[in-house]
Homo-oligomer: A and B are copies of this chain.
Amino acid sequence: MTYGLFTGFTAHPGRGAELLDVLLAAAEALRADPACLHYVAGTAEDDPDAVWVWEAWIDRAAHDAALEPPEVRAAIARARPLLAGTAGRTAVRLHAGKGLPGGG
């Protein structure tokens, strides 16, 4: 089953843009991973330090495996000092819809 994940990060004051850059670099790296269907990042409408990521993967195992490579671990290490906390994490068994390759 296609796996969706919506995650919120709270950056230290004024560090939201840096955190977003780290996440968007991860998105670029994931362009080469066919198991990653979506990896998009942005900020809350009223708070540039509230950073949100939506991900969609062919399944949960693919998502979990993608956390292992050294370059991903390095990106997580770069992000960690920018983080004041997390702001929610919701996993979704994606059934279907517009925007997924093959429609679901």
Complex-state Cα separation, A94 to B95, whole angstroms: 23
Q: Chain A 78-103, CB within 8 Å of chain B: the 1/0 string?
A: 00000000001011111111111000
Complex-state Cα separation, A90 to B52, whole angstroms: 9
* A27 surroundings in chain B (CB, below 8 A): 96-98
Complex-state Cα separation, A52 to B93, whole angstroms: 9
Q: Flag if A94 contacts B40 (CB, 8 Å).
A: yes
CB-contact partner of A98 in B2, B38, B44, under 8 A: B38
Secondary structure call for the A interface: strand
Copies of this subunit = 2
Given A4-B52, A54-B54: A40 in contact with B97 (beta carbons within 8 A) = yes
Given A44-B91, A45-B91, A92-B44: A98 in contact with B39 (beta carbons within 8 A) = yes
Q: Flag if B95 contacts A41 (CB, 8 Å).
A: yes
Is A30 an interface position by the 8 A CB rule? Answer: yes
Chain B residue nearest to A101 in the complex (CB): B99
Q: Flag if B6 contacts A38 (CB, 8 Å).
A: no
